[in-house]
Structures are given as C-alpha cells and as structure tokens.
Amino acid sequence: MITDPQATIAAARFDAVVFDMDGVVTQTATVHAAAWKALFDSFLEDRARRTGEPFRPFDLEADYLPYVDGKARYDGVRDFLASRGVTLPWGAPSDPPDADTICGLGNRKNDYFLRIVAEQGVKPFPTTVALIGLLHEADVATAIISASKNTSAILAAAGVAGLFAEQIDGGVAEQLGLPGKPDPAVFVEAARRLGVAPPRAVVVEDAEAGVEAGRRGGFGLVIGVDRSDHAQALKAHGADVVVKDLAEVTVVRR
C-alpha cells in the first residue's frame, strides 16, 4: 500500500500526538459495538412488546457510527434514542442499570461492555504500538483520550498503560466539566497537559466526532483511521488524511 505523503509526522513540526483509545490503540471498538447492540436490542424489543410498535433492531452499520461511536456513553444513548423518536428522562449517573433513564441505560451498556472484556480480554493494535515507539524515539510526546471511564483498566489489560504521558478519560472529563466530542475540549486539555499548543500537535482518531473535534480544536494534523469503511465521512468531518492502519504513518526525526 502506498503511504499518503500527508501521513507523515515530522518532529520538526509537531511536538505531540494525541491518540483516541478505542479502535486506534486498543481493539475495543468492536466490543463497544457489541455492547451497544445488546443494550439497544434488549431495550427496543421490550419497548415493542409494551407499545405494540414494530421491533427494529440496532443496526451496526446504520446506527453505530453516526449516533454512538466516539461519544460519551450517556450522549450516545440520548442521540440514538432521539434518532428513533424515543425520549427518556436523563436520570443520574448513580441510576441502577435497570432504570429506564438515559443514565440507567448507559450504565447497563457499561455492564455489557465489562462482561465482554472480562470474557475476551483486550488487545492493542501492534502497528499503533510500533508507531508510538517511533514517536518516542523522535522525542514526540504522546497522550491518550477516551470517553470511557474504564480507560485505565483497558490500557492495563492491553499492556500499554505506560506509553502515554497524559490521559484524559471520561472520569477526568466529568471532573473538569469538559464536554464530549465533537467538542475539542478533551484533546485541547491533553495537549495543554503536555505543554503543547494544538497547532503543534497531531490528533489520531477513528470516529467522525473525533476528527471533527480535532479540526475544531485547531490541531496541526488530524489523521483519521478508517477501520469501518467510512473514509469519506472521516474526511468530510475534518480528517486531513485517512489511513487504513497506522502502519501507513511515517515519523521523520528532527
């Protein structure tokens, strides 16, 4: 495969790279998708029985990317249900998983996700780990972001927790009141903690909301990782370059 000439991180131009976790660093995007489908299919099937409406299951192709991919858990619940014309009370993060609230459903999804992780484990993408090694050799700092509050556990399970100087996850975002993607706040905070201005940093994302956040945050380069055949959508939302795998990205030392 020919590498796009833009898929180059030059240490003379960039001081840091901020990676999204799911689908970029760890092979957990498919686990999230499975957990979302288990949640929504159960909810929609139960709703259909109660209301007499036809049951239309959660579609991994039509629903996952636009409504939940890359978003904070509760935002994903809200946005998908809105797409089906369903409105629920927001509730509170302390709601039990069986509560019919946005937070309750979000907590139920987290239970599904953790169950699958416990059963299957977590693997990193070897090419991503290799790229991070090249960045460190070139003295380019790395940080990781994720909407997940399980970020530390997932990174530890994948054996890659020590690769990042800074981590902005769902728990940190909640503590600081940072809005979720496509708002660039989590990326900007990661760059700030690394001591790097956004124009001197790179964002690596596989979600449409994530590349849009990188563009809106004024980052110097936004690399989209197309693992779901949505390259055009990634470009439309702000990716400067789209690659199938991070093996296509080169690092040029100073």
Measure the CA–CA gap between 165 and 237, rounded to whole angstroms.
Answer: 28
Catalytic, 22? Answer yes
CATH 3.30.428.10 is right for the domain spanning 8-27+122-252 = no
Q: What pLDDT, on a 0 to 100 scale, did the predictor assign at position 121?
A: 84
Which residue of the set 15, 20, 63, 169 is catalytic? 20
Q: What pLDDT, on a 0 to 100 scale, did the predictor assign at position 3?
A: 41
* Low-confidence spans in the chain with pLDDT less than 70: 1-5
Measure the CA–CA gap between 153 and 22, rounded to whole angstroms.
Answer: 13
What own/partner pairs with CB < 8 Å and gap ≥ 24 does 213-216 have? 213/181, 213/182, 213/183, 213/184, 213/186, 213/187, 213/238, 214/184, 214/187, 214/238, 214/239, 215/239, 216/182, 216/183, 216/184
Measure the CA–CA gap between 5 and 242, rounded to whole angstroms.
Answer: 11
pLDDT tens by residue, 38-57: 999 999 999 999 999 999 99
Q: Kindly report the CATH number that applies to the domain delimited by 30-120.
A: 1.10.150
Domains of the chain: which residue ranges?
8-27+122-252, 30-120
Q: What pLDDT, on a 0 to 100 scale, did the predictor assign at position 2?
A: 38
- Taking a C-beta distance cutoff of 8 angstroms, is the pair 186, 194 a contact? no
Which residue of the set 22, 95, 169, 206 is catalytic? 22
Q: What pLDDT, on a 0 to 100 scale, did the predictor assign at position 5?
A: 53
Catalytic, 183? Answer no
- Taking a C-beta distance cutoff of 8 angstroms, is the pair 4, 249 a contact? no
| 30-120 matches 8-27+122-252 in CATH topology | no
pLDDT tens by residue, 107-144: 999 999 988 888 888 999 999 999 999 999 999 999 99
Measure the CA–CA gap between 229 and 82, rounded to whole angstroms.
Answer: 25
